[in-house]
Amino acid sequence: MFDKTVAELSAALKAKKVSSVELTQGFLDRISKYKELNAFISLDPARSLAQAKIADERLARGQAGPLTGIPVAQKDIFCADGWLTTCGSKMLSNFVAPYDATVIERFNAAGAVCLGKTNMDEFAMGSSNETSYYGPVKNPWDTQAVPGGSSGGSAAAVAARLAPAATGTDTGGSIRQPAALTGITGIKPSYGRVSRYGMIAFASSLDQGGPMTRTAEDAALLLSTMCGFDVRDSTSVDQPVPDFTASLNNSVKGLKIGLPKEYFGAGLSADVAKVVEAAIAEYKKLGAEIVEVSLPNSQLAIPCYYVLAPAEASSNLARFDGVRYGHRAPEYKDLSDMYCKTRAQGFGAEVKRRILIGTYVLSAGYYDAYYLQAQRLRRLITDDFNRAFEKCDVIMGPTTPTTAFNLGAKKDDPVAMYLSDIYTISVNLAGLPGMSIPAGFGVDQRPVGLQLIGKYFDEARLLNTAHQYQQATDWHKQAPKGFV
Amino acid sequence: MEWETVIGLEVHVQLLTKSKLFSGAAAQYGAEPNTQACVVDLALPGVLPVMNREAARMATKLGLAIGAVVSPRSVFARKNYFYPDLPKGYQISQYELPVVQKGTLRIEVDGQEKIIGVTRAHLEEDAGKSLHEDFHGLTGIDLNRAGTPLLEIVSEPDMRSSKEAVAYLKKLHSLVTYLEICDGNMQEGSFRCDANVSVRPKGQKEFGTRAEIKNVNSFRFVEKAIEFEVERQIELLEGGGKVVQETRLYDSVKNETRSMRGKEEAHDYRYFPDPDLLPLVIEASFIEETRKTLPELPDAKAERFKQQYKLSAYDAGVLTATRAMADYYEQVVRDSGADPKIAANWVAVELSGLLNSENKDISASPVTAPLMAGLLKRLADNTISGKIAKDVLAAMWAGEGDADAVIAKKGLKQITDNGAIEKAVDEVIANNPKQLEQFRAGKEALFGFFVGTVMKATQGKANPAQVNELLKKKLAP
């Protein structure tokens, strides 16, 4: 049962072949069996099973939706009423959320079961899950390897079949990069599609929640539930949300796929390039047209991002001061000492690094040279995409320059670590939807992801394009050895 | 050397919205600590601000009232600093693009009119409160006030004396209460003022170094604080010293300003546009809609009072100083049918005197407009004289009932029976032969003596006009 997709499980639940309680218990058992992956920060079986029981009652009444009774692993960045919500940080290691994020509320309303809270890089700052206060997550394909980050726990859980689906958040690639590195499907919708209310902020102008699943069809199911205008989030967009599953079966014949030459240059490892080229060839076979496009300012994405994201983060994380909740230093002399010790103890090295960078770039005298300049670059990067989309419907390329690297390999080299998001970051800067789907394996037998980038609010086309590929190939059906 | 004072004022006006600037929590004053702070005000992880449109409407009202530009697009920024009663670690305020820009306010000091420039007005949220009493060695935090909407109104450095500063403040106070965007309560901090004060040798173009006096909470204290500060700076400069740019606190008990923090300790607030909020867009149609809701403003009302009621500029000014005062006056005129000038005197002089003596607002006057109208009716129909009316007003103030009840109870009804008055007049003339003789010999000043004695004999109740007439007739040789 645990190898089935959400769509299949949904059918099984409705056909009474399995109950939500059985499913939930089954996945909880697997989580505990494979706990060395360290994919979860907190579990609350009683709470999950109680939700499953209610879902079963709803199923029995015939009032079930497609997600009713489906266990979903939630990234520990989403506040869920009554759940420990740590955001991967010591700072929030004692914080039990007293309210539901909009995303959680929507899953609850759909009758989904919260299976547990998944491990993540501290405050979503990282690309390997190694910055988590709760320790690194292992990649089920090779436990020497990182699962990517920051949504590494969610990615590992879905890849190892510890959950049929999970949520992630993506500020610079945190859904797509771990999806690529663990051989699963993940989509970051357009900025404004998914409410950020209750999703602990890293960089407000870039953060977006999205699903991490095994198939594009499942991603469509979850995304349909997650999206929608929310009055509690001023940046949420009042756009009609289509049923993303409705257009999955459209043909890709005549689809114009843009390949940005900048995504296939130096820095891209040969085996990843080969996999991506094979995937493009597959699309050609399906009738898609290939056009070359250019994103000339791509190389500015990382410097731009590493000014803007830390700037926003330095301010977003100011609320973690030990006054009202979360960690507070046990001993201190005075107010200033309380702040210093609390934040020195509560935050890890990567978070501190970004707070320092962010504080610096916003300081009087540096603001224009860094923050304002980065905003200008952001516009240039966005303009690049707009121009490219005049020539194509979807942009494709690699999600990451390499397959999963080994645990510890880049831990002490932040710039090398930042470069693993080189193809994903610009999508956040532009606010576009982006997706990663499994497309094969590298020479190390670790998964390779194909990235699909769409026009604003064109998630339906991305999911359709991905689904058609998954109908023609079976990379998404591959499972890591030892977990099936 | 002759010195010139330069003053600019920053006024924080607490807006009368039902809920906070960025959350749905109530914005009322005086609730139990932390009962009016929701998850957004507490800055729990993950919460987001949502702009209260009502605050934008109120800011627009002020902008229109001071002839300012209401920005079609203004931007909320984050002002970053750590303080325990600042839950997010930043205050959401407007920095580069405020909602209101470039207005003016007309003031009058000693009959001289002056236009004061208003640089800008911007929306921002208030912080909470730190409570140092009641907790031994600890600080309590009350976040009820956190997120309360404020409109910070910044003037140009156009004022040249403490009197002008107070006139500006009073005018602004009157305006925001007229507009019903602020309750104007200075004790509760709904209307608070920071004053930027500097001095320069008369004739010099450049401004001197300024000190900012924080949070002065009454008109009188503003005046005193500025006067103290001006003296301090002049003394310093004349003694060869230098004014340092700093923030100073006014101590009303000692009547002095004290240094709070210097420029070198000034925060770097690291302002940047708040990515959680879209720019505040105010459309022309919204501005026009709001314009239609504007009440008659103090200057226009004073002008109308002069025309319609034939009042002096002074009376019109006093009677339109607050909307409540003006409404009170107009109701008294309407209900009493009295001469508007006489009514003006009773409201602006007699009643105002009583209000001032007990430091009461007109809205709290025990003599309501209908009560005052009742008194003026009795004055107009000659039931009582002006002198008696003052006694009746005092009794009404003390809560002894309406004018008719007081007159009846105290037997103050004026004597208008000509026979009765004539009898009293005859008695007084008969009892004072010496004065009669002197009067008839040409000492006309003694007429007053006869009037007074008759009034005394009638306990002041005789109609003074009739007394005069009868005396004139009877004293004639």
Output the pLDDT for position B263.
58
Torsions phi, psi of B40, nearest 5?
A: -70, -45
Q: Where is average pLDDT lowest: A17-31, A397-411, B261-275, B369-383?
A: B261-275
Beta-ladder partners of B151: B13, B123
> In this predicted structure, what is the pLDDT of residue A285?
98
DSSP state, A328? Answer: -
Angle at B180 between CA B177 and CA B184, to 5 degrees: 35
Q: Measured between CB atoms, which of B48, B270, B278 is closest to A196?
A: B48
What integer pLDDT is reported at residue A289 of this predicted model?
A: 98
- Candidates B57, B291, B296; CA nearest to B174 is B296
For tokens 């109950």, the residue is A19
Strands (DSSP E) found in A235-296: 256-260, 289-293
Closest CA to B141 of B263, B19, B42: B42
> Do the beta carbons of residue B349 and residue B386 sit within 8 Å?
no
pLDDT in tens, B409-434: 887 777 777 888 888 888 888 888 89
pLDDT in tens, B296-328: 999 999 999 999 999 998 899 889 988 899 999
**Cα–Cα nearest to A222, from A415, A1, A9:** A9
What pLDDT does B285 receive? Answer: 97
Task: For A258, list phi and psi in degrees, rounded to 5.
Answer: -95, 130
- Map residue A308 onto helix, strand or coil: helix
Nearest to A370 by CA among A423, A307, A321, A316: A307
The residue ranges of DSSP E strands in B226-295, in sequence order, are: 246-251, 256-262, 272-273, 280-281
Question: pLDDT (tens digit, 9 = 90+) per residue, B90-148?
Answer: 999 999 999 999 999 999 898 899 999 999 999 999 999 998 877 788 889 999 999 99
Residue A84's φ and ψ, nearest 5 degrees, are: -60, 130
pLDDT at B275 over 70: yes
Model confidence at B266: pLDDT above 80: no
Contacts B280 to A, Cβ<8 Å: none
Which residues of chain B does A101 touch, with a Cβ-Cβ cutoff of 8 Å? 46
A10 in catalytic set: no
pLDDT by residue for chain A (484 residues), tens digit each?
899 999 999 999 999 999 999 999 999 999 999 999 999 999 999 999 999 999 999 999 999 999 999 999 999 999 999 999 999 999 999 999 999 999 999 999 999 999 999 999 999 999 999 999 999 999 999 999 999 999 999 999 999 999 999 999 999 999 999 999 999 999 999 999 999 999 999 999 999 999 999 999 999 999 999 999 999 999 999 999 999 999 999 999 999 999 999 999 989 999 999 999 999 999 999 999 999 999 999 999 999 999 999 999 999 999 999 999 999 999 999 999 999 999 999 999 999 999 999 999 999 999 999 999 999 999 999 999 999 999 999 999 999 999 999 999 998 888 888 888 999 999 999 999 999 999 999 999 999 999 999 999 999 999 999 999 999 999 999 999 999 8
Of B49, B84, B90, the CB nearest to A323: B84
Question: What is the widest separation between alpha-carbon atoms in chain B?
Answer: 99
- The confidence score (pLDDT) of residue B215 equals 79
Residue B79 confidence (pLDDT): 97
Residue B330's DSSP bridge partners are: none
Measured between beta carbons, which residues in chain A are less than 8 angstroms from residue B82? Answer: 318, 321, 339
Higher pLDDT, A205 or B30: A205
Dist CA B232 CA B230 (whole Å):
5
ipTM entry:
0.96
Instruction: Tell me the two tokens of residue B120.
Output: 């800008």
DSSP state of A246: T
Candidates A267, A283, A207, A213; CA nearest to A400 is A267
Quick one: which of B168, B83, B159 has its CA closest to B128?
B83
Backbone φ/ψ region at B236: left (φ over 0), alpha (ψ -120 to 50), beta: alpha
Whole-prediction pTM: 0.90
Buried b (16+ CB within 10 A) or exposed e, A308-339: bbbbbbbbbbbbbbbbbbbbbbeeeeeeeebb
Q: Which of A19, A174, A195, A298 is catalytic?
A: A174
Who among A79, A87, A359 is closest to B270 (CB)? Answer: A359
Cβ–Cβ below 8 Å for B44 and A98: yes
Mention every residue, 6+ apart, whose C-beta is less than 8 A from residue A184: A155, A158, A159, A212, A213, A214, A438, A476
Residue A114 parent element (H or E) = strand A113-118
CA distances (Å), A178 to each of A138, A208, A438, B111, in order?
Answer: 11, 15, 11, 75
Give me the sign of the Cα torsion angle B307, B310, B315, B321.
Answer: negative
For residue B264, is pLDDT > 60? no
Closest listed residue to residue A222, CA positions, set A6, A476, A484: A6
Whether the pLDDT of residue B468 is over 90: the answer is no
A93 touches chain B (CB under 8 A): no
Our answer to whether residue A75 is catalytic in this structure is yes
CA distance A333 to A327: 17
Closest CA to A387 of A260, A254, A228: A260
